[in-house]
Amino acid sequence: MNKNIFITRKIPEVGLKMLEEKGYSVTVRDSDMPPTQEELNFALREKEYDAVVTLLTDKIDSAIFEANPNIKLYANYAIGFDNIDIVEAKNRGIYVTNTPGAYANCVAEHAIALMLALTTRLVEGDQYVRDGKYKCWSPDIFIGTDLSGKTLGLIGAGRIGEKVAWRLMHGFDMKIIYHDIVRNQTLDSEDRADYKTTIEEVLKEADIVTLHTPLLPETIHLINEERLKMMKPTAYLINTSRGPVIDENALLKALKEGWIKGAGLDVMEFEPNPVSGLTDLDNVIITPHIASARESARNEMATVLAENIIDYFEGKEPRNNVAK
């Protein structure tokens, strides 16, 4: 039987090809911007779709599920799935899949790139040269901070957090402290990694704190004013997870008033806009949610996504169902 799939925005060819080779009919919405709720609602009513491919910019809630109750699979093109109301999906017996994979490496590398850019003052130095301000080498301009020998504090030690820790422990001689609700056995087997039973212990001891938690009701504003005040004034905060994990107004205050030394963000609380005043500061680096923006990663995501859809249409439990 023919299957119809609606895709809210273009995804890499490799995934589309896998679906088309199975004989499924694929409708890709033609736009570089996410659909509005009204547009998506309308599109899903238009045709008898059997599955929908969503991006992390699509908000999928009960009104969207209601638009076409026959659709029982929403395949999200992302590791994170906080854009989808999972509780509602479960109640309705809808499968939701994500795209975890080896590309967690590139997210880990981006977190480390943000750390290095901050501690070497790379962006500030580049701007200085571009502005024509570099007149003569001097021993005291742009003094940075070493990573070697410092303590990395990991909040969230899943696939990505572990890769960040491993690279910094073995490549940069850093000590690791971590907190998660689940212990990480790989880190536990390392001499230089210690588990902490509370987030607070990590915040107080770490020279660099990096966040690798999913966005859940309990992780919204996990890093708030009180917790920012616990960090060392010499510490840096890195976020490649989801923006709302940090109270960004509190972070603005922390950076302005020197509660911490700097921050590197790939995600924002109110994406795509940083809170007003944040981009005026030199001690923050912000990238536009590009930690997984590599051709290899994007293709892997499209492949994993297609595998999930094929599983479902072939009567199997989709391998990355997160609505269980």
Q: Give, rounded to a whole angstrom, the gap between the first and last alpha carbons of the chain.
A: 27
| Among the residue ranges 21-29, 77-85, 126-134, 257-265, the one whose residues contact ligand GLV (CB under 6 A) | 77-85
Tell me if residue 88 is catalytic: no
Pick from 121, 113, 168: nearest CA to 144: 121
With b for 16 or more beta-carbon neighbours within 10 A and e for fewer, the 138-175 pattern comes to: eeeeeeebebeebbbbbbbbbbbbbbbbbbbbeebebb
Tell me if residue 242 is catalytic: yes
When the beta carbons of 56 and 67 are compared against ligand GLV, the nearer one is 56
Please report which helix (H) or strand (E) contains residue 229, including its range: helix 225-230
| Among the residue ranges 32-40, 74-82, 177-185, 244-252, the one whose residues contact ligand GLV (CB under 6 A) | 74-82
75 contributes a contact to ligand GLV by CB under 6 A: no
- 230 contacts 254 by C-beta, under 8 angstroms: no
Contacts with ligand GLV, 286-305, as mask; x by CB under 6 A: ------x-------------
251 contributes a contact to ligand GLV by CB under 6 A: no
DSSP assigned state of 270: B
125 contributes a contact to ligand GLV by CB under 6 A: no
DSSP assigned state of 26: E
Please report which helix (H) or strand (E) contains residue 141, including its range: none
Given 109, 124, 225, 271, which residue is catalytic? 271
79 contributes a contact to ligand GLV by CB under 6 A: yes
When the beta carbons of 244 and 259 are compared against ligand GLV, the nearer one is 244
- 115 contacts 291 by C-beta, under 8 angstroms: no
Given 110, 121, 212, 242, which residue is catalytic? 242
When the beta carbons of 56 and 89 are compared against ligand GLV, the nearer one is 56
CB 41, min distance to ligand GLV, A: 24
When the beta carbons of 6 and 77 are compared against ligand GLV, the nearer one is 77
Return d(Cα 252, Cα 225) in angstroms, integer. Answer: 10
Tell me if residue 289 is catalytic: yes
Please tell me the total number of residues recorded for the chain in this structure.
Answer: 324
Select the residue interacting with ligand GLV from 19, 56, 67, 322 (CB under 6 A): 56
Query: Tokens at residue 249, please?
Result: 């107004």
CB 266, min distance to ligand GLV, A: 8
Quickly list H helices, 47-184. 62-67, 86-91, 104-119, 122-130, 159-171
83 contributes a contact to ligand GLV by CB under 6 A: no
**How many residues of this chain bind ligand GLV (CB under 6 A)?**
5
* Residues catalogued as catalytic: 242, 271, 289
Rule CB under 6 A: which residues touch ligand GLV? 56, 78-80, 292
